[in-house]
Amino acid sequence: MPPRPPRRDDPVRQRSLRDHNLALVLRHVTAANRPPSRAEIAAASGLTRATVSTIVDELIAGGLVAELEPVSRSGVGRPGTGIVPAGTGPAGLGMEVNVDYLAVCAVDLTGAVRHRQVRRLDQREHSPAQTWQALAELADQALAAVAALGLTPAGGMIAVPGLVEGDMIRIAPNLGWQQVPLPRPGDLGGLRELPLEVANEATLAALGERHATGLRSFLYVSGEIGIGGGIVLDGELFGGSHGWAGEIGHVTIDPQGPDCHCGSRGCLEQYAGEEAIRAAAGLPGRDTAKLEQHAAAGEPAVLAALDAAGSALGVALSSAVNLLDITTVVLGGHYADLIGWLSPALEREFARRVITSDWSPVRVRPSALGADAAMVGAARAVVQGILDDPARFLAARA
Amino acid sequence: MPPRPPRRDDPVRQRSLRDHNLALVLRHVTAANRPPSRAEIAAASGLTRATVSTIVDELIAGGLVAELEPVSRSGVGRPGTGIVPAGTGPAGLGMEVNVDYLAVCAVDLTGAVRHRQVRRLDQREHSPAQTWQALAELADQALAAVAALGLTPAGGMIAVPGLVEGDMIRIAPNLGWQQVPLPRPGDLGGLRELPLEVANEATLAALGERHATGLRSFLYVSGEIGIGGGIVLDGELFGGSHGWAGEIGHVTIDPQGPDCHCGSRGCLEQYAGEEAIRAAAGLPGRDTAKLEQHAAAGEPAVLAALDAAGSALGVALSSAVNLLDITTVVLGGHYADLIGWLSPALEREFARRVITSDWSPVRVRPSALGADAAMVGAARAVVQGILDDPARFLAARA
């Protein structure tokens, strides 16, 4: 996960002042709507023009930013040249292990996806070692593609549908994994040369959405067989004490409800997960049509099942809004495609259950990144580490 | 509410460096286990001894810290003199408006309560204007007491059992208040001279607990007729988007459950609020004995009602732990006295419903401040504003 932002009890001294200003200038460049000049960066950041120029030169030398056109100092009153994030520079590798597919992508410093590959593969039939082996093959292809683009891989982040603590995947129920460590370097092909981390897929998807949409505070809910969640508040991921926050799939809907694979009863997954919706709709196990195809055909049992799922989702999200005071909900995974059928029930529950809904209504929107959110978010997390602390990245390259 | 901590995109310049260091040194003084010397502050903060001495002198001149004994520079190798928060200095005024009482206290820079007064008075029989009038009388007495102690009132914070936005109390259901603004200066007696704010009582109580206990991450739950909540994460209040976070009283226990005064159905308050417990226990409305007296007498209906309430509380708190990843729960209000009868059911639900409970068990403890938590937290919030930004306080006094 990205390093924490500086805290108020960190002493500010000369060296950290330069590090701070490197990050500040790089942030102004990457966040700008159009390429800012050095003078504009100075005006926006409050730094002096001399400081900005020194810092920009250092960022150019380190390959993190570039100048749009050659500097010409002869013309008077000309606009300054624009500074942009470097198109050839570091790239973050995002990887996703999910129940029925593996995926790898690469994202550059601008947040653009430069490489993307998805492979259908059911992990439930394989051991974790076999999964890592298959993932390493995809990652090697991504590394070759990244090199061909003139980018330098800076690190990798693996998204998994489970709870992670440090390098340990504590539990990934829908994969059937418990206490699975990050792969050893020998299992990883070309990845072994890179700093590698693992994190929860919905948390990373929320990070991806945050950067793709510019939304600063939202609950991200990913509906698949399991239901994952991620929380973004004031532009930052909210991880809780251990990074496990957001497990909305295991909010209780009915204390006496059906057993859940997590060991509890009446969890949201048992009402609004894909298998629960299919069961409620009476769709046979061999049915491969997407839920939205059945819904679009107007099948009454499917529409009723989606309304019931939306209602359960609305109950859980209302509790979450009451607890967290975050009033934008982003629906990802298959929920993004089902939003039209889920929304009426969602809005009904919000109006009834969110105590602030009269003056602060809950907004619901579909995911911008769709099924790619977790892997793009994972790659973006790597890039974010560089944006947050460019001094460390430059020192490692020096 | 206290000002936000500095953010990474704040530029660090010379003036803010001094402001930052003022707060840093003051924080080291107030957080130390024993009075630190200037040299110890320098070692702990990473600042130079010369900088620390300048800053300490400025804090002494501003009345924020004091030296324990006269400086003697003749002895070689003697320990330095200790620096302590000033015992006579600014005081924060904390006020609480609750259903059946008003309360006012004053807290100094060390966090010590220097004045405290509680007046039984049922607000439901009075208009907001009458409540402010009664509160102003208590506050005037507190201001006189503070002056007699040699302290200078620095500001006031009013705790209310409702949702606050800016200076507006949006809704305080158990008071019957809606859209009640902060009192005008003319309604406030001596208070009119002070900066005044209003905030949610459970949020402020959580802040009070945070300082009284040193706990850095916990869910605070206050059980009265209503159920309030506050969230502290990594030492900071978690307010959400508008400061309304923590409304655990309106987490849904059963979507088809009894109507709640908030307009929803099946809210936690309807299962674990004091009136709900008394109704379930079959206690008549005229009964004035405390619930814990009935429980201590072993009355089976009361024990069953408390077990059911603990179970409902456990369902709501399990959902909160799954969402927030905060594994310490502090029970305040009447829950603090009932904890022995609530805990078995709570622990049963946590073990079943919290997905991380196998390797990260939820801990439950009673409030340290008891019924005073909200008013002490309110006063402490005022003091915290000074600790966070002593430069602003010193500038206002200059």
pLDDT of residue B6: 44
CATH of A90-194+373-397, one of 3.40.50.720, 3.30.70.120, 2.60.40.3880, 3.30.420.40: 3.30.420.40
Which residues, given as ranges, of chain B have pLDDT below 70? 1-15, 70-80, 398
Is residue A158 predicted with pLDDT exceeding 60?
yes
Residues B317, B329: contact at Cβ < 8 Å? Answer: yes
Residues of B in contact with A312 (CB under 8 A): 255
pLDDT of residue B80: 65
Residues of A in contact with B247 (CB under 8 A): 322-323, 325, 355
Q: How far apart are CA B187 and CA B192, in angstroms?
A: 8
Among chain A residues, CA nearest to B45: A11
Contact A229/B at CB under 8 A? yes
Looking at residues A351-359, what average pLDDT do you find? 93
Residues A19, A3: contact at Cβ < 8 Å? Answer: no
For residue A15, give every residue at least 6 positions away whose Cβ sits within 8 Å of its Cβ, in sequence order, or none. Answer: none
Contact A270/B at CB under 8 A? no
Is A11's CB within 8 Å of B45's CB? yes
Out of A12, A244, A318, whose CB is closest to B356?
Answer: A244
pLDDT of residue B30: 86
- pLDDT cut 70: percent of chain A above it: 93
Dig out the tokens for A182 from the structure.
Answer: 């990050």
Contact A5/B at CB under 8 A? yes
Residues of B in contact with A11 (CB under 8 A): 21, 24, 45-47
**Which residues, listed in sequence order, are joined to residue A168 by a DSSP beta bridge?**
A165, A181
Residues of B in contact with A245 (CB under 8 A): 323-325
The CA dihedral of A293, A298, A301, A304, to the nearest 10 degrees, is 100
Per-residue pLDDT reduced to its tens digit, A50-85: 999 999 999 999 999 999 875 555 555 555 689 998
Is A12's CB within 8 Å of B5's CB? no
Contact B23/A at CB under 8 A? yes
pLDDT of residue B2: 43
How close, in Å, is residue A329 to chain B by CA atoms? Answer: 13
Q: How far apart are CA A314 and CA A231, in angstroms?
A: 16
**Other Cβ atoms within 10 Å of B75 Cβ, number:** 7
pLDDT of residue A80: 65
Per-residue pLDDT reduced to its tens digit, A163-198: 999 889 998 888 889 899 988 777 777 777 888 999
How close, in Å, is residue B396 to chain A by CA atoms? Answer: 22
Pairing mode, strands B363-366 and B227-233: unpaired
- The fold for domain A214-367 equals Nucleotidyltransferase; domain 5 (3.30.420)
Contact A54/B at CB under 8 A? no
Hey, of A49, A319, A350, A357, which one would you mutate to test binding to chain B, going by the most B CBs within 10 A of its CB? A319
Pairing mode, strands A113-120 and A152-160: unpaired
Among chain A residues, CA nearest to B256: A254
pLDDT of residue B17: 85
Is A11's CB within 8 Å of B47's CB? yes
Give chain A's mean pLDDT: 89
Is B20's CB within 8 Å of A12's CB? yes
pLDDT of residue B359: 86
Hey, of B1, B7, B9, which one would you mutate to test binding to chain A, going by the most A CBs within 10 A of its CB? B9
pLDDT of residue B397: 75
Tokens 């655990």 correspond to B248
Residues B273, B338: contact at Cβ < 8 Å? Answer: no
Dig out the tokens for B102 from the structure.
Answer: 């008003």
SS3 (DSSP) at B100: coil
Q: What is each CA distance from B9 to A105, B192, B242, in whole angstroms? A: 29, 36, 22
Identify which of A326, A74, A95, A3 has the alpha carbon closest to the alpha carbon of residue B241: A326
Helices within chain B (DSSP H only): 14-31, 38-45, 49-61, 128-148, 201-213, 269-272, 274-281, 291-296, 300-324, 334-353, 373-388, 390-397
Q: How far apart are CA B274 and CA B313, in angstroms?
A: 12
A&B contacts, CB < 8 Å: 174
Contact A6/B at CB under 8 A? yes
* Contacts within 8 Å (CB) and 24+ apart, B148-153: B149/B88, B149/B91, B149/B106, B149/B114, B149/B115, B150/B88, B151/B88, B151/B89, B151/B90, B151/B91, B151/B106, B151/B108, B151/B114, B152/B63, B152/B89, B152/B90, B152/B91, B153/B90, B153/B91, B153/B92, B153/B93, B153/B106, B153/B194
Looking at residues A215-237, what average pLDDT do you find? 92
**Other Cβ atoms within 10 Å of B87 Cβ, number:** 14
Give chain B's mean pLDDT: 89
Residues of B in contact with A327 (CB under 8 A): 241
Residues B231, B238: contact at Cβ < 8 Å? Answer: yes
The domain made up of A14-85 is a member of CATH 1.10.10.10: yes
Dig out the tokens for B107 from the structure.
Answer: 């807290």
pLDDT of residue A3: 40
Sheet (strand A227-233) strand order: A236-237, A227-233, A218-223, A328-333, A363-366
Which regions of chain A carry the CATH code 1.10.10.10? Answer: 14-85
Is B323's CB within 8 Å of A5's CB? no
How close, in Å, is residue A141 to chain B by CA atoms? Answer: 36
How close, in Å, is residue A181 to chain B by CA atoms? Answer: 16
Is B171's CB within 8 Å of A264's CB? no
Is B315's CB within 8 Å of A252's CB? yes
How close, in Å, is residue B326 to chain A by CA atoms? Answer: 6
Per-residue pLDDT reduced to its tens digit, A21-46: 999 999 999 888 889 999 999 998 88
Q: How far apart are CA B56 and CA B68, in angstroms?
A: 13
* Least confident interval from A236-240, A256-260, B57-61, B375-379: A236-240
Q: At what angle do helices B373-388 and B14-31 cross, to 10 degrees?
A: 140
Residues A246, A231: contact at Cβ < 8 Å? Answer: yes
Residues of B in contact with A48 (CB under 8 A): none
Tokens 């099948």 correspond to A299
How close, in Å, is residue A14 to chain B by CA atoms? Answer: 10
- pLDDT cut 90: percent of chain A above it: 65
Give residue A290's pLDDT band: very low, low, confident or very high (50, 70, 90).
confident
No. of H helices and E strands in chain A? 12, 15
Is B11's CB within 8 Å of A46's CB? yes
The string of DSSP letters for A181-227 reads EPPPGGGSGGGGGS-EEEEEHHHHHHHHHHHHH---SEEEEEESSSE
How close, in Å, is residue A392 to chain B by CA atoms? Answer: 16
Looking at residues A251-271, what average pLDDT do you find? 94
Contact B200/A at CB under 8 A? no
Is B252's CB within 8 Å of A327's CB? no
Range 138-167 of A in CB contact (< 8 A) with B: 163, 165
Residues of A in contact with B229 (CB under 8 A): 323
Dihedral sign for Cα atoms in the order A230, A233, A234, A236 = negative
How close, in Å, is residue A172 to chain B by CA atoms? Answer: 11
Tokens 């409050």 correspond to A46
- Higher local confidence (pLDDT), A370 or B313: B313
The string of DSSP letters for A40-69 reads HHHHHH---HHHHHHHHHHHHHTTSEEESS
Looking at residues A241-249, what average pLDDT do you find? 93
How close, in Å, is residue A61 to chain B by CA atoms? Answer: 23
E strand residue ranges, chain A: 65-67, 83-85, 90-97, 101-108, 113-120, 152-160, 163-165, 168-172, 177-181, 196-200, 218-223, 227-233, 236-237, 328-333, 363-366
Contact A259/B at CB under 8 A? no
Is B8's CB within 8 Å of A6's CB? yes
Dig out the tokens for B271 from the structure.
Answer: 């299962």
Range 330-359 of A in CB contact (< 8 A) with B: 352-353, 355-356, 359
Which regions of chain B carry the CATH code 3.30.420.40? Answer: 90-194+373-397, 214-367
